[in-house]
Chain A
Amino acid sequence: MTTRTLTILILVSASGCRRAPAPVPVATAFGVAIVDASGELPVANVGALIDRPLIAQVNDADGNGIAGALVEFSASGGAQLSPVSGLTGTDGQIATKVQLGGTSGRYPIVATTHDKTGKPLHVAFTAIALDYQQTLGRELSEKHCARCHDARSTAERVSNLDNLSAQPHAFSDGATLNEIGPANLVAIVGHGGVAVGKSPEMPPYSPTLSAVEIDALAAYIRAVADPPYSPRGLVDANRTKPPPNRSDAGN
């Protein structure tokens, strides 16, 4: 028994030693720009390892990727990256996997490289962690909404977006969807486009989906908006009101 415990202790301490951070490699080339090459926003539920990696690309003056440039990734808010640094491959790209932290929201991630003079170049990424309600909303969206609201087609699911005369907005289209207030967003989903004077091509989901499910969908839509959705708080609401008329005060 004692021998076994001792063995475990030795193994544990040995493994502890091996977890020292990997040495940062030395750059063999320098670019003039660093860009985001990963495409869509990475979205997953809290704490999850995101399937699709983030990809940064270091370019030369002609906009072609260059190999051997050192890229360092940094994340905040509890997100873990693997690897945190490395040299770009022959296509000028380097990928890192993101493990989201334990709270929902947006995780800023920055990739940094240096040009020949040592000046740092940055590109910013955002990874989105969905809470339970938003994850439910995403599942509902995949089943009921994505066929029309997502322009991308796969062999399994061909997009219906181009068949509609009212062009549905992608849920990441924050510029448009952020302008729709919370009550109207729920009304559009539940009672259809006609409820707010829009096209009947958006059907009413109210008896099909419960109020809880519609709220979850709305929460998901807000979570993935780009630019991010910020609800109008008290301060914003007051700002849009006309200033109080002093002469009326006291009457």
Chain B
Amino acid sequence: MQANDRPPSLKRIAEKTTREWIYAWIRNPQSHAATATMPNFELSEDDARDISAFIVSQSTQPREASHQPPPADTAVQQGSDLYRESYCASCHAMQNAAGVAVGGDLGPELTRVGSKVKPEWLSEWPRNPAGYLPNTAMPHFRFTEKDIAQLTSFPGSKTDPDLLANIHLTPPAPAQIVHGKTLVNERGCAACHEIEGIAHPDNFAPDLSTVGSLPLARVLFAPGIPHSLPDYLAAKIRQPRAFGIAMKMPRNTFTVSQVDALVTALLAQTTRAQTLPAALRIAAPAPSTYQPAGRAGKLMNDLHCLSCHTINGRGDDMAPDLSWEGSAVQRTWLVDFLTNPNTLRPALIRRMPRFNLTNDEASTLADYIAAVYQTPAFDRGEIGPAQLTLADASRGRSLYYGKYACNSCHILDPDRDKGYIGPTLTQVGLRLNAAWIFHWLKNAQALRPGTLELNWNMNDDDARAITAFLMQQKAARK
């Protein structure tokens, strides 16, 4: 679960899914997806029936269903291929036969998505994700109509006949919808979701800012809980309903260590902590509002680059920080990579998807990245071909395989090297600027703090020799 998970708006939910699915979901979110982060409100059948009725009634209504025949098996197979080629699994997980979710956690799990979304919605979604959900993290892929028909047939085929088998809802009576609205207000659904006709409740749950100083005399312990504050907090998080069935707090699915971490954080919320001088507090870094400019900026918003990459402090950490990418890579390589991303790190399962960019779009992005995202630490052109001699390169080779054993982690010659950890270097001479390699070898941690590459603290002679050797690596792409 990520801290920036934003529960979706429900104002158009009826376009996307059925009332039956909403019913199943709110009764037990984990039955649909093991990775669901929505907590379990332990709703009764009647309450779930009425809430689902209200949720559907407040939503915009779908257009008439088209009743297309289900796609043929061959189309599903092609869709599965396209799903893999597009690296959808970098963000979306599906459970395999053993029930293990395989794939990323940035987007929702898709194991049973065919039982959830309506076919008309599914074929509309990839065309323009932000059109349905303005704050989505999903990129706008440049798929053709044929691609979309193929691609969506695959997740559409991922159904679970058991999920909705025993759910038979009759059209709701007006009183049920009214009751559903009352429940939605009582349970605080709008504290997370946008719901038409329901205002965001302020201060819905009790204030926890001094919960760590809660006197034990004021705590009502549920039976069987040791009488200490940490045990009380852990029990409240694990089994809120043990404290009374009328409790509103839902039950989250946390691991043991997540509960431990939450309890620790709550115990730190004391009255004494509130009186600490401001000078002693370490504030979290202010969220960055960085926005790339111009036509490239608009493209980067459309492609949601910052869903995975960080630039100037804004973005996520699935993919490399691009703040200084313009100093690192050569423009020609970048255009090529954006048009058709290849695999740099052999053991990585999460990869950059192919967005099917036009040449013009790729050039716009590459120009912007090359011009703007440069480190002030050095000039990317400061080491030219003239400064790297053949003698350097040959010494670099022996340093590469000998003193520094770079081959432990990097593959340079696919026929003899086996390292899995760093990127492959077979054509690094076409990818990186010499000055970047030189400074990277001297102290990679200064260029990209926290990278797995060591700070080698390398002397200038060795760094220049290895740079010369690496700049020779221009193997043709196989």
Contact = CB atoms under 8 A, between A and B. Distances in A.
Contacts of B391: none
Contacts of A203: 404-405, 408, 454, 456
A14 interface: yes
B221 A11 contact: yes
Given A144-B452, A155-B102, A18 B223 contact: yes
Interface string B429-468: 0000000000000010100000010111100000000000
A208 interface: yes
A15 B223 contact: yes
The CB with the most chain A CB atoms within 10 A, among B221, B402, B454, B455, is that of B454
B372 interface: no
A199 B404 CA distance: 10
Given A12-B227, A155-B349, A163 B420 contact: yes
Given A48-B257, A49-B260, A200 B421 contact: no
Contacts of B405: 199-201, 203
Interface residues of A, number: 33
Interface in B202-249: 217, 220-225, 227
Interface in A24-77: 48-49, 51
B418 interface: yes
Interface in B391-406: 402-405
A49 B256 contact: yes
Contacts of B456: 203-204, 207
Given A160-B419, A200-B405, A51 B227 contact: no
A164 B418 CA distance: 8
Given A49-B256, A160-B409, A164-B408, A200 B402 contact: yes
A15 B225 contact: yes
B347 interface: yes
Contact of A8 (B220, B409, B443): B220
Nearest to B222: A15
Interface string B409-432: 100000000111100000000000
A8 B215 CA distance: 14
Contact of A11 (B220, B256, B260): B220
B454 A204 contact: yes
A148 B402 CA distance: 18
Nearest to A99: B256
Nearest to B259: A49
Contacts of B420: 147, 158-160, 163
B255 interface: yes
A12 B221 contact: yes
Interface in B241-288: 255-257, 260
A26 B457 CA distance: 66
A250 B384 CA distance: 73
A200 B402 CA distance: 7
A229 interface: no
Contacts of B224: 15, 18-19
Nearest to B417: A163
Interface of B: 102, 217, 220-225, 227, 255-257, 260, 347, 349, 402-405, 408-409, 418-421, 443, 445, 452, 454-457
The 5 A-B pairs of least Cβ separation, nearest first, read: A158-B347, A163-B418, A15-B223, A200-B405, A207-B455
Interface of A: 8, 11-12, 14-15, 18-19, 48-49, 51, 143-144, 147-148, 155-160, 162-164, 194, 199-201, 203-208
